[in-house]
Amino acid sequence: MNVEEMKKAVAKEALNLIEDEMVIGLGTGSTTAYFIRYLGKLIMEGELEEVYGVPTSYQARLLALEAGVPVVSLDEVDAIDIAVDGADEVDPQMNLIKGRGAALTMEKIIEYRAGMFVVLVDETKLVEWLGQKMPVPIEVIPVAWRAIAEEIEVFNATAELRMAEKKDGPVVTDNGNFILDAKFHRIEDPLDLEIELNNIPGVVENGIFADIADLVLVGTKDGVKRMER
């Protein structure tokens, strides 16, 4: 089973958690894209009714509209039953790094609010400790990026402004902000660092998602494995 097949397998497994009349937080990225497409197919075939998606990004919104998933915004719903999203790293305690796709702020808002947060990853995302492979994306107020990057050096980390590939200049998030990618040597206490980073003036949100995932579905060569809190 290759990585794409692992992503499809966990996306299909997540569908077993979806019921009629659910409000679903729709994550961002390539793994959740499979979930959104499969969800839309079930809705279009009448297998699921009265299901609504709350997108975490423009990417999720466009995918949902294309797939036939009815879309509502966060301020239109009283509650979110379940949120389904990918991750860039998962440690043994189910702490996450997210934000490679610059969607971390709305993702955390929606996933924090959801009754259940389900993470979909392939086995390459598993790490022994957070920060082992990926930097921590940090969404910042644009004009403050340099001041914050200097602040982050205090944490014995280096922060780089994320530059766009198909646009001149920096990546601009769905919320109109910049992203710093902060490389830490080893994150010993994810929850503590998540709180400390958000205390830096000008930081909007950071990509450490500590103690928030309820279930992680891991696509492996031997099938889908589950990590549960």
Ligand X SMILES: O=C[C@H](O)[C@H](O)[C@H](O)COP(=O)(O)O
Q: Which is nearer to ligand X, 49 or 211 (CB)?
A: 211
- Residue of 12, 22, 30, 158 that binds ligand X (CB under 6 A): 30
Q: Which is nearer to ligand X, 81 or 139 (CB)?
A: 139
Binding residues for substrate: 28-31, 85-88, 98-101, 125
Q: Which is nearer to ligand X, 3 or 47 (CB)?
A: 3
Q: Binders of ligand X among 105-134, rule CB under 6 A? A: 107
Distance, in Å, from the CA atom of 106 to the CA atom of 222, rounded to the nearest integer, reads 33
At 140, list the tokens: 């910042």
Cβ–Cβ under 8 Å, residues 107 and 213: no
> Interface with ligand X includes 28 (CB under 6 A)?
yes
Element at 159 (helix H, strand E)? strand 158-161
Fill in the DSSP letter of residue 155: G
Report DSSP letters for 126-183, one per residue: B-SSTTSSS-EEEEE-GGGHHHHHHHHGGGT-EEEEPBPSSSSSB---TTS-EEEEEE
Annotated catalytic, 13?
Answer: no
Q: Which of 107, 111, 139, 205 is catalytic?
A: 107
- Residue of 83, 90, 104, 127 that binds ligand X (CB under 6 A): 104
- Residue of 13, 88, 91, 111 that binds ligand X (CB under 6 A): 88
Where do contacts with ligand X occur on this chain (CB under 6 A)? 27-31, 85-88, 98-104, 107
